[in-house]
Amino acid sequence: MTREEKKMIRFRIIKLLDQCEGCQYRQKVHSSINVCPSCPIGQEIQSLGKKLGGCRRIEQMESYRRWTTQEEQFLLRNLHMKRRDLAEKLGRSYKSIKKKINDLRKRGLIHDAS
């Protein structure tokens, strides 16, 4: 999507927000504005927001998967491996592996400088 297309979407959102100015479901908290997802204006705003990439956080939450005890044990037994190899073996991201190792270190399960 081009910058110009994104700009036009933002202008459309601003116009829609002006239309629902008096709506009882519209709430403004600090710099955030919440609109009713049930009304047509709110639905269009949400749709336009998704086009701008506003659902990235939701996608991240949907892709989140809890660590199992077996995965943690595998990680603890194989700290000698490269982080990228651990990520590949466990089907997780490199960043996820680093975060879990830091978490295990904070919990006192890792004592060395791995």
Alpha-carbon Rg for the chain in angstroms: 22
Mean pLDDT confidence for 41-50: 85
Q: Answer positive or negative: Cα dihedral of 20, 16, 11, 3.
A: positive
Question: Is the model's pLDDT at 104 over the cut of 70?
Answer: yes
Give the chain's mean pLDDT.
83
Using 50, 70 and 90 to split pLDDT, how confident is the model at 97? very high
Helix (H) or strand (E) holding 28: strand 27-29
pLDDT of residue 100: 94
Q: How many residues does the chain have?
A: 114
Using 50, 70 and 90 to split pLDDT, how confident is the model at 47? confident
pLDDT of residue 72: 92
Report the amino acid identity of residue 89: K
Domain ranges of the chain: 3-62, 69-106
Q: What percent of the chain has pLDDT over 70?
A: 87
- Residues in contact with 109: Cβ distance below 8 Å, sequence separation at least 6, in sequence order: 76
pLDDT of residue 114: 47
Look at residues 95, 109, 68 and name the one whose alpha carbon lies nearest to residue 86.
95
